[in-house]
Amino acid sequence: MTTAIIGTGGIGSVIARQIASGGETLRLSSADLKSARRLAAEIGRAAVVAADNRDALHGAEAVVLALRFTVLKSVIDDIAQSLAGKVVVVPSNPLSADAQGNVSRVLPEGQSSGEVVAGWLPPGAHLAMAFGSMSAGLFESASNRSPKPAVLFYATGDDRAGEEVERLIRTAGFEPAKIGGIEQSGRLEVGGDLHDLVVGPAQAPSLISGA
Ligand SMILES: NC(=O)c1ccc[n+]([C@@H]2O[C@H](COP(=O)([O-])OP(=O)(O)OC[C@H]3O[C@@H](n4cnc5c(N)ncnc54)[C@H](OP(=O)(O)O)[C@@H]3O)[C@@H](O)[C@H]2O)c1
């Protein structure tokens, strides 16, 4: 199967490496394509560099928008016409950094990245919030654990998105665990109670229910 990854920086590159090593074919895109080319060369035959963000979607069932929150809307607007029928997977936390590297939240407390992104997508796109619940290093080191895989939490209210994101999560070497609809996705973000947790499948239900 083929997945587009738009954004090949800190988290996009790790997601790409993990799902490619699980057998997925990738179409990569980034702002100036330099990082996408570097990553494709590293991954090898499983990854190709698209001509641009729209081209990345050709032949892909799903697209991972591994972008900073502040550029997400403009990229979604640019590719909107190609998103009908696609699964859109978003790991973005609603954060921005100033020139000194000070990080701040760009949404009011209580409003999640997922709820805002859902309002930016065109009709017919299938949204899941996933792959942003761990920092990149932790995500990489927690994948393909044995004997039991670690859990990767995701949120969606859309059955098609749920099916596809579960496949991608397993391909990346994790066990998927749904926490609820998009309105729950704030729990996955930096500061959320399910962020940066490495747990096995047996622990997931009580964490999700908050018991
Ligand atoms: N890094 C983490 O540990 C981590 C973990 C969980 C969630 N997240 C979330 O994931 C999101 C991405 O974080 P990151 O650390 O991966 O950011 P990053 O390292 O800055 O990477 C952002 C990527 O977006 C690309 N990009 C920027 N504008 C673009 C455009 N118009 N079209 C296509 N690609 C564009 C950049 O391209 P170039 O490479 O060409 O500049 C870069 O590859 C953030 O919202 C963050 O909160 C990050």
pLDDT of residue 153: 98
| Cα separation, 66 vs 26, whole angstroms | 14
> 138 CB under 6 A from ligand 1?
no
SS3 state at 77: helix
19 CA to centre of ligand 1 in angstroms: 17
For ligand 1, mutation pick of 5, 34, 68, 76 (most atoms within 8 Å of CB): 68
153 CA to centre of ligand 1 in angstroms: 20
pLDDT of residue 211: 67
Q: Inter-axis angle of helices 159-171 and 10-21, to 10 degrees?
A: 80
> What number is the average pLDDT over the span 5-26?
98
Alpha carbon of 193 to those of 5, 156, 209: distances in Å? 27, 17, 11
Position 49, amino acid: V
Give tens-digit pLDDT for 23-37. 999 999 999 999 999
Q: Is the pTM of this model over 0.95?
A: yes
